[in-house]
Amino acid sequence: MAHQEIQDEADFPWDIGVFDAHCHPTDTMSSIAEIPGMRATTLTIMATRGEDQELVHQTAASLPGEQFPSLPGQSIGRVLPCFGWHPWFSHQILDDTGKTETEAMSAPDKKQAHYRIVLTPPPTESFISALPDPKPLSQLISETRERLLNHPTALVGEVGLDRAFRLPQAWTQHEKESRDSQMTPGSREGRALSPHGVQLEHQKAVLEAQLRLAGELGRPVSVHSVQGHGAIFDIFKKLWAGHERKRPSRRERARRYSATDAHAQSDAEEEPQKMVMTKKPPLPFPPRICMHSYSGPVEPLKQFLNVSNPSDVYFSFSTVINFNGRSPQKVANVIKALPDDRILIESDLHTAGQQMDDLLEEVARQICELRGWDLHQGVRQLAENWKRFVFG
């Protein structure tokens, strides 16, 4: 029997632990009740916009934590909350981090000026009238910081850049009346797209502020990138500048080993004092980064995985985005090129329940086949990768 047939017939080892690195069940709140009955161990649930930040908090608070035997001292529930502002909604954020020409304007004028600046091509007054009043970036960061502090294991996400996105047209009366009331408001929900996108420089400002917050609190991030891998890496490189990891020379490693061996006792006696003296200030970048549903080619992997990068970069894959796209072979090449310990799986689904479990099993099997992993070995590797991404 061929290896593929053996894998397909094997019972899936849910008992090892299966972790969804990126999903959106709060888009369908009626599905949240299905999470306790799911076979997946933990869902990493993303917030994306104003309408779902509190829903992610409520979902995490409603499902109690449980101790992981393999993670001493770490407690996490069936969901891991993530708080962030998606690039699809970045136009709703007003960058107030520096002086702008809109400061002295009235609220209606400020709204009009803001959207004409950040949207391209500049929209009409009637298009702008259907958009929400923009939220100051400083307020977004303050609110996100508070949510992260209330959830000590929470991540920052979903954040990122998207060159291809276009805003949907305003709701028609018929669309309002016929929309699915179970869907959380704020998303496209099948509306026709307008010609208007969000200026890349504005998206960058919103992303960078959130990455800096992640660095301040030492939280990992989940990053969305569509046609923006180069721009994303440039932002990372900017924040990493001056903090690159330096590989010690052979002589330095030998000297360090010798000194550690010779002075172990005195080091132990001085440890409390050293801990106080060497406390480091917050860094301007997250410790770990997940490029969610990575759609780029193989070549940029070398940049993201360079040993000098002070952030560890992971790559997650979903059946819906990666294996049902136009270039499944490109995705296969990427997965084969990655180190074992930097691969994550996700559903990227907007509804919890059986379909989410099915998608997680499907993508795990696909990755195991591509990597040549035994199913148990692969699921165990993917579980350990998620734990390392979240907890370090």
What are the residues whose beta carbons fall under 8 Å from the beta carbon of 318, sequence distance 6 or more?
22, 293, 345, 346, 347, 348, 359, 363
pLDDT in tens, 108-151: 789 999 999 999 999 999 999 999 999 999 999 999 999 999 99
pLDDT of residue 99: 63
Q: Which residues contact 181 (CB under 8 A, 6 or more apart)?
A: none
Please give the model's pTM, rounded to 2 decimal places.
0.89
Q: Which residues of 45-81 are buried (b: 16+ CB within 10 A; e: fewer)?
A: bbbbbbebbebbbebbeebeeeebeeeeeeebbbbbb
Q: Which residues are bridge partners to 75 per DSSP?
A: 67
CB 1 within 8 A of CB 328: no
Residue 6 has pLDDT above 80, yes or no: no
Task: Name the nearest CA neighbour of 134 among 161, 114, 162, 105.
Answer: 114
Q: Which of 346, 343, 328 is nearest to 378 (CA)?
A: 343
Are residues 32 and 210 in contact, defined by beta-carbon separation less than 8 angstroms? no
DSSP state letter for 105 = S
Ordered structural domains, the chain, with CATH: 26-98+106-243+282-391 (3.20.20.140)
Q: What is the mean pLDDT of the chain?
A: 89
Top pLDDT among 281 and 224 is at 224
Query: Which residues fall within 8 angstroms of residue 16, CB to CB, at 6 or more apart?
Result: 376, 379, 380, 383
CB 57 within 8 A of CB 147: yes
Strand (E) or helix (H) holding 331? helix 328-337
Confidence of residue 327 (pLDDT cuts 50, 70, 90): confident
- The residue that leads in pLDDT, 9 or 10, is 10
Summarize pLDDT for 228-276 with one digit per residue, the tens.
999 999 999 999 999 999 876 667 555 655 544 544 444 444 444 444 4
Coil/strand/helix, residue 144:
helix
Share of the chain above pLDDT 70, in %: 84
Residue 312 clears pLDDT 90, i.e. is over it: yes
The residue among 351, 352, 323, 353 whose CA lies nearest residue 335 is 323
Element (H, E) at 28: none
What are the angstrom distances between the C-alpha of 78 and each of 66, 158, 166, 378? 8, 19, 34, 22
pLDDT one-digit tens code per residue, 75-107:
678 999 999 999 999 999 999 987 665 665 677
Residues of the chain with pLDDT > 90, as a percent, come to 79
DSSP per-residue codes, 286-315: -SEEEETT--S-STTHHHHT-TT-SSEEEE
Q: Residue range 187-200: average pLDDT? A: 96
Between residues 38 and 66, the one the model is more confident about:
38
Residue 328 binned pLDDT confidence (cut-offs 50, 70, 90): confident
Q: What is the pLDDT of residues 331-389, one digit of tens each?
A: 999 999 999 999 999 999 999 999 999 999 999 999 999 999 999 999 999 999 999 99
Q: Report whether pLDDT(280) > 90.
A: no
